[in-house]
A and B are shown apart, each in its own frame.
Chain A
Amino acid sequence: GESVGLHLPTLSVQEGDNSIINCAYSNSASDYFIWYKQESGKGPQFIIDIRSNMDKRQGQRVTVLLNKTVKHLSLQIAATQPGDSAVYFCAETFTGYSTLTFGKGTMLLVSP
């Protein structure tokens, strides 16, 4: 079936850099997307979400961009900190469907 995928399995950055994590989705019917952060030994934690009627949404130090034309989603983290080191998952769903479909995740490693 259709699923969400990620381009980079591991991303290594220096503290203070901006990080960009990418996600490609294949279900054109998807209209709601979420980014989760998972630290070691913990469950995924909600970061930010975006609906398909938006191209961009900003939170604290994070921005999600949605390009529906190419079915691409990205998470931008500004001034990356060591505490941002984790696995990041994108997830998708669509109106009328009750469950989220998750990608495989990208590990972000932040060096001091």
Chain B
Amino acid sequence: GAGVSQSPSNKVTEKGKDVELRCDPISGHTALYWYRQSLGQGLEFLIYFQGNSAPDKSGLPSDRFSAERTGGSVSTLTIQRTQQEDSAVYLCASSLAGGTGNSYTFGSGTRLTVV
């Protein structure tokens, strides 16, 4: 597609519920990243996918967070048993390849509110 598409744009969920956030990267981009942006804060790295390699999950804050990328394209970030501190904007980005020298193209994010 023309850009990185994320859905939903907004999600309000009750504490304890599971949520799924979707990211459609730019066609042909082999690298995909998830970041979290809390109010007034910078971007916190969550997870990185590169081609068929095992993902870098080093940024996931707890085992309630998981992500997958099917067919090297669409990615889903799942948060189980949501907590209020999970409220944030979840940003997805893609790039032509991983590694130094490739800037990301970001989606507009999913604003998650846990009530």
Which A residues are closer than 8 A to B by beta carbons?
4, 31-32, 34, 36, 41-46, 49, 51, 89, 91, 93-105
Interface size class of B (residues with CB under 8 A): 20 to 34
Q: Is the CB of B42 within 8 A of A103?
A: yes
Q: Is the CB of A98 within 8 A of B101?
A: no
Q: Is the CB of B48 within 8 A of A98?
A: yes
Min Cβ gap B59→A in Å is: 8
Q: How many A-B residue pairs have CB under 8 A?
A: 61
Q: Is the CB of A98 within 8 A of B108?
A: no
User: In the bound complex, how far is the Cα of B33 from the Cα of A49, in angstroms?
Assistant: 19
Answer yes or no: B106 CB below 8 A from chain A CBs: yes
**Top 6 closest A-B pairs, CB basis?**
A43-B106, A98-B98, A102-B43, A104-B42, A102-B42, A46-B103
B42 contacts which chain A residues (CB < 8 A)? Answer: 4, 89, 102-105
B100 contacts which chain A residues (CB < 8 A)? Answer: 31-32, 93-98
Q: Is the CB of A43 within 8 A of B108?
A: yes
A101 contacts which chain B residues (CB < 8 A)? Answer: 45
User: In the bound complex, how far is the Cα of B100 from the Cα of A61, in angstroms?
Assistant: 25
